[in-house]
């Protein structure tokens, strides 16, 4: 596998995939770095960028001053940098033209911010899932390639030590032939109560926060960290958690896309969707099952936000991950609990490897950032390249589309179209609000 990777990287550079990058950064020079989206996860990324010692933070951008101002104070405290502050990413990118741009916004902003950043010459670290719709993702890949910029996606499990060793274990053949994979995120929850709408907090430009997506009344269920369960701005648990585990499947097996998809689910526990001038609930499913047919195996996705799931925990705190079912046994790729191989022969020993994660939030951003910097310096493909993440994001988005339409979909991955279903293909993109223009691939 290492030889294959080296050959690919050599071929990529030779073919001009990432030209003029090698040696572009002097050893003693710091990358002029900007962050769009200064909330929880955006700052997790920026802290690792500052800790790596190769960034000068020149600008921060957020439509919410309640996020922006504390972030600026923290940057100055940690690094001594005094970044310029912006409310509009377009103005920031046009004026600052950073070497590196981090996109830590809600999902519905990823495409526009990333595309504009590479156009001004920045390498980009963008959070997952890369896009809200499939054709946004294709436009992002094409923009990155046209600009010859490195774009790393925050699927940090591709570089987590136990995920890397687990992948090597499976690809060595010790699991045998894989026939099925089950990936799941099972947490507790219960009925949902509507939250009253309020005026947006002072310092928040709510119209700009919604941007190209539909405009809802402000509600604290959405902002700051609840947006993932509002389908105007994200794609529920499958779009949030699912991208990590579906990405693991593609990364481990080498597949790019499923042939057929079917999904079902609903809100029997969360209750009816409410969106009135007075109050709102979320509108994502409280449980969902999606089945993906690949050439050589079947994938089953499952999430629940009720039931407690104490009977199914793979770790004292959670039940998440992937079970790979092979002729040699069952392999669980987990998160906090590392990975475990259960051989088919009960006389053989169970094999386990612990996770090695960074705080806060048990992640491996540090390692993914180091890979990003190395890719910029060498011109090689990063471990979580935008095109790889595009395929993984598509799997999640196709599951959501099947749920929305209530029928199975046949996906032509080469043509990036749903076969024989013109109505479904209309949902591969969506109309942007107001003057915002949907990106062209």
- Distance between CA atoms of residues 350 and 343, nearest Å: 6
What whole-number distance in Å separates Cα of residue 335 and Cα of residue 163?
9
- Chain centroid to CA 299: 19
| Rounded-to-10 torsion of CA 72, 77, 80, 82 | 20
Which residue do the tokens 């991208």 mark? 243
**Is residue 22's pLDDT more than 80?**
no
**Helical axes 242-253 vs 386-405, angle rounded to 10°:** 120
Query: CA of 353: how far to CAs of 31, 128, 181, 356, in Å?
Result: 36, 26, 20, 9
Which residue in this structure is represented by tokens 């509009």? Answer: 88
* pLDDT tier, 172 (very low <50, low <70, confident <90, very high otherwise): very high
Mean pLDDT of the chain: 94
pLDDT for the residue 25: 52
144-176 burial, b at 16+ Cβ within 10 Å, e below that, comes to beebbbbbbbbbbbbbbebbbebbebbeeeebb
Q: Please, which pLDDT band fits residue 281 given cuts at 50, 70 and 90? A: very high
Supply the DSSP string of 279-304, one letter for each residue.
Answer: EE---S-SEEEEEEE-SS-EEEEEEE
Check if the beta carbon of residue 320 is closer than 8 Å to that of residue 334: yes
Any idea which of 130-144, 147-161, 298-312 has the lowest mean pLDDT? 298-312
Q: What is the rounded CA–CA span in Å between residue 347 and residue 330? A: 14
Checking if the pLDDT of 4 tops 60, the result is no
Instruction: List C-alpha distances in Å: 42 to 39, 91, 125, 244.
Output: 5, 19, 10, 17
Query: Could you tell me which of 266, 267, 276 has the C-alpha nearest to residue 219?
Result: 276
User: Could you report the per-residue pLDDT of 102-118, keeping only the tens digit for each?
Assistant: 999 999 999 999 999 99
Residue 346 reports pLDDT greater than 80 = yes
**Whole-structure pTM value:** 0.94
**Confidence check: pLDDT of 310 > 90:** no
Mean pLDDT over 331-337 rounds to 97
Check: CB of residue 305 under 8 Å from CB of residue 299: no
pLDDT of residue 17: 56
């Amino acid at each position: 596998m290492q030889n294959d990777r080296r050959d690919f990287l050599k071929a990529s550079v030779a073919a001009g995939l990432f030209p003029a990058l090698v040696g572009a950064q002097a050893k003693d020079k710091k990358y002029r770095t900007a962050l769009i989206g200064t909330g929880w996860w955006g700052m997790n990324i920026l802290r690792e960028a500052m800790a790596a010692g190769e960034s000068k933070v020149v600008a921060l951008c957020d439509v919410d001053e309640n996020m922006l101002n504390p972030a600026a104070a923290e940057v100055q405290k940690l690094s001594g940098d005094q970044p310029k502050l912006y409310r509009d990413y377009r103005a920031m990118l046009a004026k600052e033209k950073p070497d590196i741009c981090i996109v830590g916004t809600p999902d519905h902003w990823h495409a526009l911010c990333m595309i504009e950043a590479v156009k001004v010459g920045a390498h980009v670290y963008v959070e997952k899932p890369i896009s809200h719709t499939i054709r946004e993702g294709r436009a992002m890949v094409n923009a990155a390639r046209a600009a010859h910029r490195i774009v790393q996606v925050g699927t940090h499990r591709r570089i987590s030590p136990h995920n890397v060793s687990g992948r090597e274990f499976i690809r060595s053949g010790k699991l045998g032939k894989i026939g099925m994979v089950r990936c799941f995120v099972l947490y507790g929850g219960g009925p949902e109560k509507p939250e009253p709408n309020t005026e947006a907090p002072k310092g928040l430009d709510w119209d700009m926060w919604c941007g190209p997506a539909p405009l809802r009344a402000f509600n604290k269920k959405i902002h700051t960290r609840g947006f993932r369960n509002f389908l105007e701005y994200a794609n529920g648990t499958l779009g949030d958690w699912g991208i990590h585990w579906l990405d693991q499947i593609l990364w481990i097996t080498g597949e790019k896309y499923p042939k057929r998809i079917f999904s079902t689910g609903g809100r029997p526990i969360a209750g009816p969707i409410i969106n009135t001038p007075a109050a709102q609930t979320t509108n994502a499913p409280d449980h969902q099952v999606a089945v993906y047919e690949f050439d050589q195996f079947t994938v089953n996705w499952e999430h629940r936000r009720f039931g407690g799931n104490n009977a199914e925990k793979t770790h004292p705190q959670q039940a998440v991950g992937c079970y790979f079912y092979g002729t040699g046994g069952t392999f669980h790729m987990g998160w906090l609990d590392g990975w475990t191989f259960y051989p088919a022969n009960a006389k053989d020993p169970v094999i386990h490897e612990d996770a090695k994660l960074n705080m806060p939030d048990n992640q491996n951003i540090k390692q993914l950032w180091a890979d990003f910097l190395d890719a910029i310096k060498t011109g090689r493909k990063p471990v979580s390249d935008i095109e790889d993440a595009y395929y993984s994001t598509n799997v999640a988005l196709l599951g959501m589309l099947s749920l929305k339409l209530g029928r199975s979909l046949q996906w032509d991955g080469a043509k990036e179209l749903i076969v024989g279903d013109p109505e479904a293909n209309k949902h591969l993109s969506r109309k942007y609000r107001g003057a915002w223009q949907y990106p062209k691939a």
